[in-house]
Chain A
Amino acid sequence: MDPRRASRTVSDPKIRQVGFFAPPPDRSFSGPPDPISTSTPNPAAATTTAAAANTSSPPPISDLSPSGNSLSPVMIPPPRHSSDTTHRPVPFPPVSPLRRDTLSLTVGSYNNNNNNIISSSPTASFYDESKGITVKVSPTPAASSFPGGGFDLTAVKASSVPASGLTTVSVVKTLPPGFTEKVGGSVEMQNDLPANSKPLKERTSKAERRALQEAQRAAKAAAKAEGSKLSATTSGAVASANAKPTKATKPSSQKNDSATVASSEKKGGDRPPEKDRKKDAPHPRMQYDDKSRVEKAKRRAVVKQTEARNRVELFRHLPQYEHGTQLPDLESKFFQLDPVHPVVYKVGLQYISGDISGGNARCIAMLQAFQEAIKDYSTPDEKTLTRDLTAKINSYVSFLNECRPLSISMGNAIRFLKNRIAKLPLTLSESEAKAFLQSDIEQFISEKIILADKVIVKHAVTKIRDGDVLLTHGSSSAVEMILLHAHELGKQFRVVIVDSRPKLEGQLLLRRLVGKGLSCTYANINAVSYIMHEVTRVFLGASSVLSNGTVYSRVGTACVAMVAHEFRVPVLVCCEAYKFHERVQLDSICSNELGDPDAISKVPGREDINYLDGCTNSENLQLLNLIYDATPSDYVSMIVTDYGMVPPTSVPVIVREYCRDQVWI
């Protein structure tokens, strides 16, 4: 289906331009929906706005401009689901009763699952413990709200079904995907649907024209500035897209727009641009050696970060800040930070200080914070809930990204949330919509994370035999659950925990496992060659698995996998499917996160070897603290996911079939 080029149209915000005809709410999806609905004379307005929608037609997402009726030129990938995606069946593999809690999953009925999950409190607490990290945002509110939410869900679903047929807003794909002047641009913006990007939206005619001019100007500037960019056009398009919303209306929205757009391109979570055409390549993430972008992002930043003085040249394309400088600053601003909800603020502070770490923990903390924010949210006058809420979410996301670059799991979750917001039927009242969203979030957490972990544990314990010596690196929540469960089942095995500097997360895992009665061996990563002689299996966790089979995980994982491969020891990676991503990466340099260099110079507990104290500012000496690294797929024997145990080559298949278009089957 060809996305049609959207022409500039202006429409009164109160009149919904329907660009996309929602298919009847039955599961079967009938081909690419006719992009032009009957009532829409003008196709999508802002071409560049496109943004989000692509696939799932989020309606004019996050438009900040009150006047905006930006019909996001939307791509029309044939959604595989009906417009009301919440109706989708849940094809979870039937879960055999685990010891911890007996879950009977019946396909298609969320309520049972949810109730089971929530009612068994050990689950909630178990989950917490297994994370091993104090998540200060308690899950109980979510738990308590969930059953209610679940019911609401069905109610809402029922009511929304007929409505969906009428209201196209939820599925608005305004006409053709805004392929703006630059094809890539709209694509970008669309992808921005996920996480940070500020989906562009409608604007008035004058604003549009202004925006178009700005876009062209910015595109030229961006194209010049980004000589080093992978694809100048796409980035230019992005820049133009950025420029557009920037010039749109409110300065505040501008700020958020550019910030979010800029941040969206950051390496953080990347959202494969939902393009209508599946063949569109994701636009490159923000590269920090582009001065203009960095300057722009800095101006919009909420968190003041000073760039590190001693930057490693090889990593100029990544943000490198002075650590420890933002925390006191942010703490003092706690009560003044209006745009940011206090719960989100708290979570951001926890990220900075390192209280919450680990893909699952950060994702859950963020989603729960969003739940709170949504609960407290009230639509201002003259604005639509979906657009304004999406804008707010974007601003929160950019704030969190400034605190600590987003992980890929968080990026995927944000994409999911924005998609949900975009799909809200218009006829819902505000409270209903909010409840709807909250239950959606709850469902995501319970299905994609908690339930997925249970499935992974169930699969993986079959690979543990009596007499095994299992090696793990760092502290992964999934691996910890597997080990504890296997221990409960009565299997006799030993655990070797390999730890690496500077985070030394293995010590936390060690403490928890020893407390539960497992016999453990602890070693530094240097000793992995020594230890590997007696190891029978290696279990590793992952922050994400990329589409070329590369496992993106804590630094040191690649070394462990390589040595295991050398000694012919099978390596099993345990990763929930929601962490999979379309991105590809060959090595650990193209995209990474840089931590605090001071963490390297200080060796805790060993005062005799603090040679490097105070040396961080020497001009010839740099300290490099990588957080992640990329493990090539040939070192990985098997990936255990909630879709089963698959080889690394199956990851793009799972991404395509189950994770694209926010289907989240």
Chain B
Amino acid sequence: MSELAVGNIVRRVLHIIREEDHSNTRDAVEGFRLSVGGDNDYIVEQDHLNLSVAAQSSLCRPSLHALLERSPDSATTYFTATTEDDSEEKRKSLDPNARSLEFRRKVISAVNDLIEDINTCHLVIAELAVEHIHHNEVILTFGRSRTVKEFLCAAKEKKRSFGLFVAEGAPKYQGHLLAKELAARGLQTTVITDSAVFAMISRVNMVIVGVHAVMANGGVIGPVGLNMVALAARKHAVPFVVVTGTHKLCPLYPNNPEVSLNEMRSPSEVLSFEEFSDCMDYRIGTGAPQLHVGNPSFDYVPPELVSLFITDIGGYYPSYMYRLIADYYSSDDLVIQQKPAS
């Protein structure tokens, strides 16, 4: 449950497939409804969602499985328009195998687009950097995020000179790596410990972080310690900006996120086994271990603490994030059912 992005992508793919299907049905419906026209060249998009819904209601919806397999007797056509006047005839005339093949091809190409989007989201986001970072600003970041790195470097490219504090982000200490990379690129960076965040944040203009996942309510799951940073930022009225690609947007609502959406790592990262091997054996009266070590991996930041989301489709306020879910996910896919083993 911790790697939410995986679930996200699965749902995205499912959504793509459904969308493809809907668009086909939509086209079919349109084709049926309309006379020969060139309106079949419109590719799968949400603006015709209502049509596809109508199509859905009028036609029996095949299961996804059936969509990808040959589904001969469905009235739906699997051929998205390729702007032909006689497309509808053509469609009707294709045999089911070719139709399903075509459908799969379409899905594959859409999935490839998705892959491309994910790979390049940070570039798109970085283009927005120049709007948010100005001269002589001091920015604080936490841990290491590739999106943030590109974001900051893009601002640097535009000749904005700013200072940077990097909190190291124990126990992974990815902040060290980020600081090294950024210093190599010419940014003025200072590495601080996580405990010094409150001390330094009074001199910071903006906090920019990358996160692990964005939840449906606008809250974020980030590296452990992020909540502390967000609280300090709110106390000092410093904007807390989250840069993220839309593939991290998860349609789930966080219930008890510290426990359910967290992952506990090895205590040895926090407390060295060699030094404390003698303490490990102590037991209290009931036989339970006397010494516990907690090493959570993630932290939940509630949406009230986040000032802004910068995504590859623009900037949004946390309370708006739930809207984007409808763009990317189908409601049927929200809960992924486990198929009973048979």
Contact = CB atoms under 8 A, between A and B. Distances in A.
Partners in one complex: yes
A609 B193 contact: no
A500 B180 contact: no
Contacts of B159: none
A178 interface: no
A526 B193 CA distance: 10
B196 A507 contact: no
Interface in A611-631: 611-612, 615, 618, 620-626, 629-630
Nearest to B282: A514
A130 to B, nearest CB: 19
B225 interface: yes
Contacts of A606: 173, 269
A609 B197 contact: no
Interface stretch (B52-60, B288-296, B318-326): B288-296
A514 B190 contact: no
Q: How large is the interface on A (under 10, 10 to 19, 20 to 34, 35 or more residues)?
A: 35 or more
B228 A525 contact: yes
B189 A533 contact: no
B301 to A, nearest CB: 9
Contact of B198 (A499, A518, A629): A629
B187 A612 contact: no
B272 interface: yes
Given A500-B195, A558-B198, A626-B192, A522 B203 contact: no
Contacts of A514: 279, 282, 290-291
Interface string B267-298: 00111101110010010100010111111100
A526 B192 CA distance: 13
Given A501-B168, A520-B291, A562-B235, A620 B194 contact: no
Contacts of A529: 224-225, 227-228, 258, 299-300
B166 to A, nearest CB: 9
Contacts of A428: none
A510 interface: yes
The CB with the most chain B CB atoms within 10 A, among A601, A609, A629, is that of A609
A156 interface: no
A520 B293 CA distance: 8
A558 B236 CA distance: 13
Contacts of A501: 168, 170, 193-195
A511 B282 CA distance: 11
B291 A615 contact: no
A501 B195 CA distance: 7
Given A520-B291, A555-B195, A630-B199, A526 B177 contact: no
A464 to B, nearest CB: 17
A588 B232 CA distance: 13
B269 A558 contact: no
B122 interface: no
A600 B190 CA distance: 11
Interface in A591-641: 592, 600-601, 603-606, 609, 611-612, 615, 618, 620-626, 629-630
Contact of A521 (B177, B188, B258, B294): B294
A127 B272 CA distance: 28
A502 B196 CA distance: 11
Interface in A647-665: none
Contacts of B192: 600, 624, 626
Contacts of B196: 555-556, 624, 626, 629
A314 interface: yes
Interface string A293-318: 00000000000000000001010000
Interface in A470-524: 499-502, 507, 510-511, 514-515, 517-524
B23 interface: no
B114 interface: no
B227 A620 contact: no
A565 to B, nearest CB: 9
Given A559-B228, A612-B179, A530 B262 contact: yes
B111 interface: no
Contacts of A515: 279
Interface string A541-573: 000000000000001101100110010000000
Interface of B: 165, 168-173, 176-177, 179-180, 182-184, 186-200, 202-203, 223-225, 227-228, 231-232, 235, 258, 262, 269-272, 274-276, 279, 282, 284, 288, 290-296, 299-300
Interface of A: 312, 314, 499-502, 507, 510-511, 514-515, 517-531, 533, 555-556, 558-559, 562-563, 566, 587-589, 592, 600-601, 603-606, 609, 611-612, 615, 618, 620-626, 629-630
Given A521-B292, A563-B228, A622-B191, 14 more contacts: A501-B168, A510-B291, A514-B282, A519-B290, A522-B293, A523-B294, A526-B225, A527-B296, A530-B294, A563-B227, A587-B199, A601-B176, A606-B173, A624-B165
